Structure 1
Amino acid sequence: MNNAPALDDLRNQLVAEIKSKVSLTEPVEQALRTVHREVHLPGASLADAYSDQAVSIKDNPNGPLPLSLASVPSTVAMMLVQLDVQPGDRILEIGAGTGYNAALLSELVGPDGEVTTIDIDPGVTLHARNALNEAGYEQVRVMERDGLKGAPEHGPYTKMIGTVGFWDVPGTLHDQLVEGGRFVVPLRWRGQTRSVILTRRGDSLVSEGMELCGFVPIIGQDGERTTTLPGDKIRLHHDQDLRFDAERLNDAFATPVTEIWSDTRIGREESFDGVWLRATVFEDAVCRIEVTEQALKGGVRRPAKPFRSVALVGGDSLAYLILSIDEEADPARQVHLGAAGYGPDGAALAKKLAAHITAWGADRGAVPRLTVHPVEAADQDLPEGHVIVKEDSRIVLSYA
């Protein structure tokens, strides 16, 4: 009991930090002030439990990313605002994590609602179940399930939320959502992830907004590939429907670089990930380039972010995002964005990417419309826009 005031102070401090980043609704704010995050992170210090950072709860022996973690609290809050939970909602959460998000959802749905959280990993579900019981949320249903299949026996659901990254939206989940129901999902396409608000409209899911985010990928979807150029100094990370010739692209880096500069200048702390999003609305061959320190020392033009920059690829040529910094300029305009092109068509690709940068710079708040359709949907039944074909769905993007 003596520890209660200190814990309340820590929670309130965390909420204050979250509010500096996210526009909270009153119900979400109240839930954040109520649920004890430290109960869900028994191995973490109180300082870590109440800092705005992710905490790993299960390591991955087969890769660099953990199998499960407690998400950044401000990201959790942002997605709960997107979900717009109402008292009495029936919610499916895909990715049980620590059980913390399920506890927040339980607070939001109230005594007349239901929360079902599922995870494919028995260790994760056990952790979530124990934490929820200890925190007093025995009413939350925790199930060991493949997240891609959902839990149809407890549906249909008025709301669904993914707390793992999805590369595709399977029809099995679509079918468990009521007409007009909302699905907030971290959806990945062309190498970048957005938390997308999707509303069911018949056989389609229609977006009502999206925010940049990052999540551990769901188990069972493997839609991305890596093409490593000879010498293992440059890698392209791309969707499986894109195929690149590593030898031809490697030859491109033997040609002189062409730099094309956009009309866009930004502040040093300002995000420019919107350029990547905009490119995916118009271009097929959008991917992520990773340039090692060894390649940079060898003279390759430094990307804006050496390990995560948007790139356009075409046959034996490519272009990617670059920047230059003018220390003497107005702080709001110190960073100049442009594109570097290599190969016979490198200049044309760089010009195209620079045009996307300029267009983004002129309207940085523009958000595309995204719709998800069954993979068998006919072309004439799709709305106007750029189509990306996945295994279970066809995604259409446009600014219309």
Structure 2
Amino acid sequence: MTLSQTPTADQLRNRLVDEILSQRSVPADVERVMRTVPRDAFLPGIELEDAYTDQAVIIKDNPDGPLALSCASVPSVVAMMLEQLGAQAGDNVLEIGAGTGYNAALLAELVGPEKVTTVDIDSDVALHARTTLNAAGYDRVTVIERNGLLGAIENAPYDKIIAAVGVWDIPAAWWNQLKDGGRLVLPLRWRGQTRSVALIRRGNELVSEGMELCGFVPIIGQNGEKTSALNADDAIRVHYDQDQDIDADALADTLQSGEPALEVASDQRVGGEESFDGVWLRATASDDRVCRLEVTPRALEQELVRRPATPIRTPVLVEGGSLAYLTASREGADPERPFRLGAAAYGPRREELARDLIAHIEAWGPDRLVIPRMIVTPTETGATAGHVIRKPESHITLAY
């Protein structure tokens, strides 16, 4: 390719936005700001082509774990969450997780730079955001180095709050800093999954207005999610919430017994590109046994267990020394939906757990895109009627 043929940053940016628009509808104001703000300006040292691909970019590794400490979010997910937020000119907005500063710049274009506050716990990340925002002409955005769980009382109350980090529990500080009628958008984590949830404050309730599957680096300071190895070389793991009673030793004994899996097929089939994460979501609305199973390539090579539907993150029902998880098997000659969903189960209660997981799959099947209504309340006010997931600072109620 000659120099004259090399695409410019503007061309690459517009190509990226066109790609996002081909996959989902985006409000005109969100499209406008994504075509305006130069993402490459917030990713110094990154190749121009890489700055305009629909991928996350790590800006700081985490020395204490496998996940990055901070990264630039996937642009299509950024667009989706800005749509959920619905920020308008003049709104006072708080962002939790400053990252590169790019999202704060997008918000500044939507509401005005003096109306945006972004906070980050890491000094290097906060400095990066401050530096790139200044260089790109967004010096009136407020950048604060602080634990994001505390919010930013200085510029409260806020019309909108958006979190760019995975949140396991909603801090009381965010409730206190969000106006009644205000909107909170966050990647909320429960029962091993993460959904970007748009919540509207109605007095002492946060009521959902949509949720979308996503994945984010978890916020620092919340430790309600646990992980246990289920075999000696840590090739199989279960991820669960602190309120769930998980007997990792009993599960490990079951998996190491050599007993073959009980395999049960459902009536539901899926296409190769069709998401079946709705099974997981639906199960969490009624079943407190739902966790996340992670099976590494090493475990698959050794054939330690029947292959899960998605090895790195599959819903699993766990009770005592028994478990049942989702499978997807190529079966039959249907070219539109070649995979049949089912359950693989181990342990003394495998028949019961397999039956219950199949029931969740069948409940999801007839209307696969429907999502539950979520109501979140502070712990001190109690929970609404329905199936409740209890966390230290909030209660989550889900209902279909």
TM-score bucket of the superposed structures, by smaller chain: over 0.9
What is the identity, as a one-letter code, of the residue corresponding to 1:159?
Answer: K
Aligned residue runs from structure 1 range 42-81, under 5 A: 42-81=44-83
Match of 1:286 among 269, 286, 290: 290
Between the aligned partners of 2:248 and 2:85, the Cα distance in structure 1 is 42
Between the aligned partners of 1:320 and 1:139, the Cα distance in structure 2 is 50
Match of 2:308 in 1: 303
- Specify whether residues 293 and 73 from structure 1 end up closer, same or farther in structure 2 by C-alpha distance, changes over 3 A only: closer
Does the 8 Å contact 1:260/1:347 carry over to 2?
Answer: no
Question: How much has 1:4 moved relative to structure 2?
Answer: 12
Question: How much has 1:230 moved relative to structure 2?
Answer: 4.1
Does the 8 Å contact 1:69/1:97 carry over to 2?
Answer: yes
Aligned sequence identity (%): 61
Between the aligned partners of 1:321 and 1:196, the Cα distance in structure 2 is 24
Match of 1:322 in 2: 327
Q: Confirm whether residue 340 of structure 1 aligns to residue 338 of structure 2.
A: no
Match of 2:246 among 240, 244, 260: 244
Question: How much has 1:144 moved relative to structure 2?
Answer: 0.7
Question: How much has 1:223 moved relative to structure 2?
Answer: 1.0
Match of 2:157 in 1: 156
- Specify whether residues 259 and 124 from structure 1 end up closer, same or farther in structure 2 by C-alpha distance, changes over 3 A only: same
Match of 2:380 among 371, 376, 398: 376
Between the aligned partners of 1:212 and 1:18, the Cα distance in structure 2 is 16
Match of 1:360 in 2: 364
Does the 8 Å contact 2:204/2:381 carry over to 1?
Answer: no
Question: How much has 1:247 moved relative to structure 2?
Answer: 2.8
Match of 1:95 in 2: 97
Counterpart secondary structure, 1:330: coil
Between the aligned partners of 1:169 and 1:162, the Cα distance in structure 2 is 11
Per-residue displacement from partner, 1:239-295 (whole Å, max 9, x unpaired)? 111122223223333334211211110101111111111111111011111224454
- Specify whether residues 377 and 7 from structure 1 end up closer, same or farther in structure 2 by C-alpha distance, changes over 3 A only: same
Does the 8 Å contact 1:94/1:117 carry over to 2?
Answer: yes
Per-residue displacement from partner, 1:55-76 (whole Å, max 9, x unpaired)? 0101111111111000000000
Between the aligned partners of 2:56 and 2:297, the Cα distance in structure 1 is 27
What is the identity, as a one-letter code, of the residue corresponding to 1:130?
Answer: T
Match of 1:191 in 2: 192
What is the identity, as a one-letter code, of the residue corresponding to 2:136?
Answer: A
Question: How much has 1:372 moved relative to structure 2?
Answer: 1.2
Does the 8 Å contact 1:90/1:114 carry over to 2?
Answer: yes
Question: How much has 1:314 moved relative to structure 2?
Answer: 1.1
Match of 1:262 in 2: 266
Match of 1:108 in 2: 110
- Specify whether residues 106 and 291 from structure 1 end up closer, same or farther in structure 2 by C-alpha distance, changes over 3 A only: same
Counterpart secondary structure, 1:263: strand
Moved more, 249-258 or 3-12: 3-12
Match of 1:121 in 2: 122
Does the 8 Å contact 1:22/1:77 carry over to 2?
Answer: no
What TM-score do you get using the length of structure 1 for normalisation? 0.95
Between the aligned partners of 1:21 and 1:345, the Cα distance in structure 2 is 42
Between the aligned partners of 1:122 and 1:281, the Cα distance in structure 2 is 39
What is the identity, as a one-letter code, of the residue corresponding to 1:205?
Answer: L
- Specify whether residues 6 and 342 from structure 1 end up closer, same or farther in structure 2 by C-alpha distance, changes over 3 A only: same
Between the aligned partners of 1:168 and 1:26, the Cα distance in structure 2 is 32
Question: How much has 1:155 moved relative to structure 2?
Answer: 0.6
Match of 2:179 in 1: 178
Does the 8 Å contact 1:195/1:213 carry over to 2?
Answer: yes
What TM-score do you get using the length of structure 2 for normalisation? 0.95
Moved more, 347-356 or 251-260: 251-260
What is the identity, as a one-letter code, of the residue corresponding to 2:306?
Answer: R
What is the identity, as a one-letter code, of the residue corresponding to 1:345?
Answer: R
Between the aligned partners of 1:163 and 1:298, the Cα distance in structure 2 is 37
What is the identity, as a one-letter code, of the residue corresponding to 1:186?
Answer: P
